[in-house]
Amino acid sequence: MYMVKKTTVLLRDDVYQILKEKAGAKKISSLINEILVEYFAKKGSMFGTMRRVDISDLRDHREHL
């Protein structure tokens, strides 16, 4: 279980209605938390579109003489 902090978030009426329809009036906080975690947990590359790669599986392609 995570510690929680109580805060005030000001939402546009249309955004509130969408959240209320999707999550229900009593679970809006949970939905907002899920959305924010998903948004901030993404780790983009320096190009913004490529996913992160691990170089541990790269092979050495140098020619052996």
The pLDDT tens digits for 4-63 are 899 999 999 999 999 999 999 999 999 999 999 888 887 655 556 666 667 776 666 666
What is the domain range of residue 19? 11-40
The one-letter amino acid code at 27 reads K
Instruction: Answer yes or no: is 47 within a domain.
Output: no
Cβ contacts of 51 within 8 Å, gap of 6 or more: 45
Instruction: Answer yes or no: is 28 within a domain.
Output: yes
Instruction: Answer yes or no: is 55 within a domain.
Output: no
* Listed residue (4, 36, 5, 31) closest to 17, CA to CA: 31
Say how far residue 6 (Cα) sits from the centre of its chain: 21
Instruction: Answer yes or no: is 56 within a domain.
Output: no
* Listed residue (11, 10, 28) closest to 19, CA to CA: 28
Q: How many domains does one find in the chain?
A: 1
**Full-model pTM:** 0.59
CA distance 2 to 16: 24
Instruction: Answer yes or no: is 59 within a domain.
Output: no
